[in-house]
Amino acid sequence: MGSESWSFSRSAPIHGQLIEKSRILNQNPGPLSISQWSRIFSSRKESEIYMQTRTSKLNATDVTNAYEVLKPIVTHTDLQYSRYLSDRYHANVYLKREDQQLVRSFKLRGAYYAISQTPEGTRKAGVVCASAGNHAQGVAWTCKRMKIPATIFMPTTTPAQKVGQVKYFGGDYVTIKLTGDTFDQSADAALDFCQENGQTFIAPFDNLNTMAGQGTIAVEIFNDAKKQNLQIDDLFVAIGGGGLLSGISTYTKSVSPKTEIVGVEPSGAASMKAAFDAGHPVDLEQLDKFVDGAAVQKVGELPYATCRANVDRLCQVPDGQVCNTILDLYSKTAIVAEPAGALSVAALESNKDKIAGKTVVCVISGGNNDINRMQEIEERSLIYNGQQHYFIVNFAQRAGALREFVNEVLNPDDDITKFEYTKKVNSTMGPVLIGVRLGNVDNLDALLARVKRFDPKYINLQENQMLYRMLV
């Protein structure tokens, strides 16, 4: 079980009233239903003050206890040496393959452990969760195994592959509700559902038992490292809500305090960095949902406090580099990683000078990649690498105009990948949407100069994201 402690100011009378209630919660640190929570706290304000004033701590014993429960349940995934990545970054790079897990994601660990620690009578009444996909699959798999009902809220933007897998793993024990455009909107709907139906919410990251279950990855890493006589210098872990990083960092610092722990998040969803900068979790004003498994608007209170104490540094990775890594892992190592699963490996590129000569472990957190996204992933990779470009160019509406563009603008090794044009009656000029893939990215400046000579009023769609999203 997780351990918690609280501190209260004596200056406010309501705080003093919460001391006894904190003791009650200490006796049951597992998940609470909304109805249970309401019986403990007399008002929403009292509950909020409690949440604001508590300090929480996950310890290594919590993680090892979770490991003993999960050992006969989950797959002990490989700690695999990557020759390709080791040669590329001049380091000894090992991959913790959670894409090999029963539901192809680490989320099973936290979901199963959190549900297992819920009192039997409570969980039989039904559990509820919110998830962009992987936590939902873990809950679904667990509930089918335990034969208990689950209601699972997922954003409407969740890839169809992940929705289908939740149905597959949960079968008749699971009801799926697609609600909201983001995880946070789904979570709000899930909590409202819990309150209305008196069921237990299984948090994907902001819960000590969930964190402990996810942290069992570190137990396996260091057990295997000991067998292989490895001293791990750097450990790279993806961040969504922070549960995985908090669990892994807690155990790692207890058994290998010199190991540097690097938390990795997408540049467009860097909610842990925002929390570190502010000194507490905050809502991101904008959220890029491409790395859907890590697109969390606000990290959890408990993971934040734990990560603040244990994590050595944070790293943000652009979506384009994530796409490069997904394609690289597949083509060079036959590993199918989802965007969030590739985050830790993607971070090696910007850290290559820091890790040279070291022993490094990257946690591949999941492999639930929708095959229908591969075209988009390749497109984003090409654009990020400066190979693919799109323009709107005015062409003369006469025969031979395209030939002139090819001869006057493109290099012999450039390729036209998109061409959309509709001839207008009684018009001398017409706009053309054209995609160009460069044979050599160093030729871009010269290409742009030639495009401008061809049409001084051309539009570079890389500089206008709204038009790009509409037209490409």
Q: Decide: 24 and 18 in contact? Cβ < 8 Å.
A: no
State the residue for tokens 């008002």.
43
Q: What phi and psi, each to the nearest 5 degrees, are found at residue 382?
A: -65, -40
The three-state secondary structure class of 337 is: coil
* Predicted local confidence at residue 55, as pLDDT: 46
Q: Which CATH number fits domain 119-201: 3.40.1190.20, 3.40.250.10, 3.10.580.10, 3.40.50.1100?
A: 3.40.50.1100
Q: Decide: 385 and 320 in contact? Cβ < 8 Å.
A: yes
Mean pLDDT of 391-418: 93
pLDDT for residue 334 is more than 90: yes
Token pair belonging to 431:
């706009």
Least confident of 182-191, 230-239, 268-277, 317-326: 182-191
What percent of the residues of the chain are helix, what percent strand, and what percent coil, each to the nearest 5? 50, 20, 30
57 is catalytic: no
Long-range pairs of 276-279 with CB within 8 A, sequence gap ≥ 24: 276/308, 276/314
What pTM, to 2 d.p., does this model score?
0.84
Burial class (CB in 10 A: 0-12, 13-18, 19+), 354: middle
* Predicted local confidence at residue 425, as pLDDT: 65
Distances (CA, A) of 199 to 26, 35, 123, 130: 20, 8, 8, 13
Output 296 or 45, whichever has higher pLDDT.
296
Mean pLDDT of 242-256: 97
pLDDT, the chain, mean: 88
271, 344, 365, 381: which one is catalytic? 365
365 is catalytic: yes
* Predicted local confidence at residue 56, as pLDDT: 56
Output 19 or 283, whichever has higher pLDDT.
283
Query: Where does 399-464 show beta strands of DSSP type E?
Result: 415-420, 429-437, 459-460
Banded model confidence at residue 121, pLDDT cuts 50, 70, 90: confident
* Predicted local confidence at residue 7, as pLDDT: 28
pLDDT for residue 132 is more than 80: no
Token pair belonging to 7:
């501190």
Q: What residue spans in the chain does CATH classification 3.30.70.260 cover?
A: 386-471
As its CATH architecture, domain 58-105+209-375 has: 3-Layer(aba) Sandwich (3.40)
56, 105, 107, 131: which one is catalytic? 107
Buried b (16+ CB within 10 A) or exposed e, 25-48: beeebbbbbbeeeeebbeeeebbe
- Give the tens place of pLDDT for each residue, 181-232: 877 788 899 999 988 988 999 999 999 999 999 999 999 999 999 999 999 9
Chain-centre distance of CA 387, in angstroms?
Answer: 27
Looking only at the bridges linking them, the beta strands covering 234-238 and 200-201 are unpaired
* Predicted local confidence at residue 159, as pLDDT: 76
Q: Tell me the C-alpha distance between 369 and 104, whole Å.
A: 10
* Predicted local confidence at residue 398, as pLDDT: 85
Least confident of 25-34, 178-187, 331-340, 394-403: 25-34
Banded model confidence at residue 419, pLDDT cuts 50, 70, 90: very high
Mean pLDDT of 73-81: 97
Banded model confidence at residue 340, pLDDT cuts 50, 70, 90: very high
* Predicted local confidence at residue 441, as pLDDT: 95
Q: What residue spans in the chain does CATH classification 3.40.50.1100 cover?
A: 58-105+209-375, 119-201
Specify the fold of 386-471: Alpha-Beta Plaits (3.30.70)
* Predicted local confidence at residue 426, as pLDDT: 64
